[in-house]
Structure 1
């Protein structure tokens, strides 16, 4: 029988997997942002490709000459985000089922080359109590932080 941890890990792996599919398994690192606060679910993802930190719509900017282009059609981006949000909903249901605290924020990092996986969780409200910030602002800030630290 699968444990809570097994099922929780499988849902996180699914988020990483769909993001890897988006770039045809061609990325150095995948970053997934998942948030749920006050009933609002939000997701985001970005990449490190050829030592460049790029948002999902900019992945072709990181390619070398001759590399096969990525399909960055908005429809594909929306599909990935939909699956991430569905996985967040499933994690929420899983946490309820096992009477566990649901993280308000998950930052998932998968290093493709080494196979390393890191996850950071927050359980406190991140943006709900902020008059200005939204989940998108927090995800953008994380992207900028990773971009700064990777250079």
Structure 2
């Protein structure tokens, strides 16, 4: 019989799988941002590839910069980005449903860090409102701040 943690873990694993598929399994690290505050779900992600921290739409800029032998070209079309974000959001909604079903608190924020080579997933979770009580702050701002932290070498400090 499945317990809450099984569902939670499976859904997070699926989020990682979506992000891995998006980058054709060619990333060193994946950073996934999830947020849920009353009636609003946010899912987004970025990567570290060959020492470069990049947004999902910038993958080809890194590939071109590296002048790699395999001439990797990533499909970063708007349709593909929307599809990945839609699936991630669906997973986030399913996590919320499982939280309700098992009478657990839904995290307001999840920052997931996946190290591809080590096949290890770490998560940092918050349960307080992050941006709903702030007139200026939006989920995109939080995501962008995290992206800049990682880009500036501030390593992910997960709770897991």
Distance 1:111 1:61 in 2: 22
Unaligned runs of 5+ in 2: 156-160
> What corresponds to 1:145 in structure 2?
149
CA contact (8 A) 1:59 1:70 kept: yes
Give the 3-state SS of the residue equivalent to 2:8 in structure 1: helix
Equivalenced residues, count: 151
> What corresponds to 1:78 in structure 2?
82
Alpha-carbon offset, residue 144 of structure 1: 0.5
Distance 1:42 1:82 in 2: 10
Output the aligned Cα RMSD: 1.2
Give the 3-state SS of the residue equivalent to 1:149 in structure 2: coil
Alpha-carbon offset, residue 150 of structure 1: 6.0
> What corresponds to 1:55 in structure 2?
55
- Give 4+ residue runs of structure 1 displaced > 4 Å after superposition: none
Unaligned runs of 5+ in 1: none
Distance 1:150 1:103 in 2: 23
Give the 3-state SS of the residue equivalent to 2:130 in structure 1: coil
Alpha-carbon offset, residue 43 of structure 1: 1.0
> What corresponds to 1:92 in structure 2?
96
Alpha-carbon offset, residue 116 of structure 1: 1.5
> What corresponds to 1:33 in structure 2?
33
Pick aligned residue for 1:102 from 106, 113, 118: 106
Q: Normalising to structure 2: TM-score of the pair?
A: 0.91
